[in-house]
Amino acid sequence: MFRIYREPQPNGENTSIDLADLTLVGNSIIPSHDPFGNEIIISEAEITRLKEIDGFFESLAKNIDARQNLLFVLPTLHTNSQGQLVSISLEYKLPDGTSIDPVNILTDIMIQLNDDSGNQYYYSPWLKNENAGIEECNCVNGLFSYTLDKPVDISHLIKITIPYNDLLGNTYFINWHK
């Protein structure tokens, strides 16, 4: 018998969940008592998010190599008529080229620009996933695009670094070199 315990809730919710007998079927452990929908109330949106996270982290667990299972953030730089950077759009893909929705995996990302001397001369605020529950940060909502406050000269741009945090608290750095 396997039990999940949680801290007592002030409104009298269950403080333990009895899964009863567990059976291994392939790679899945199936409880004889399934608490979802009764003791554990979970929305369809949360189930969808968990399924997407599950697939991502399952592939990571099978092959820890941080390049075969990484989520790539692909920036597209948009310039004005003077060739200055005015906005950046972001696309998210797995190593096999499959597009993926970052909302169920990432909490926030940042964009950093480095010149040919290796100096970081621009960085965006953290772009936050509105669904990630990040409180009190100097962040901007949105994971798909960012418009700069004023145009930035990119004539000496040599590298773009995109750090991001996932829902489990891991930090990754994606570097794009000219």
CB 128 within 8 A of CB 139: yes
Residues 137-142 have a mean pLDDT of 77
CB 87 within 8 A of CB 156: no
Residue 55 φ/ψ, nearest 5 degrees: -65, -40
**According to the model, what pLDDT value does residue 9 have?**
55
Residues 129-141 have a mean pLDDT of 72
**Unique residue bearing structure tokens 């798909």:** 144
Q: Which two tokens stand for residue 82?
A: 């003077």
Lowest average pLDDT, out of 70-74, 115-119, 166-170, goes to 166-170
The β-bridge partners of 112 are 123, 161
Candidates 161, 177, 159, 173; CA nearest to 70 is: 173
CA distances from 43 to 38, 93, 102 (A): 12, 26, 19
Candidates 87, 89, 113, 86; CA nearest to 102 is: 89
CB 29 within 8 A of CB 23: yes
Q: Kindly list the structural domains of the chain, giving each domain's residue range(s) and its CATH number in brackets, ordered by start.
A: 1-38 (no CATH), 72-177 (2.60.40)
The share of the chain scoring above pLDDT 70, in percent, equals: 78
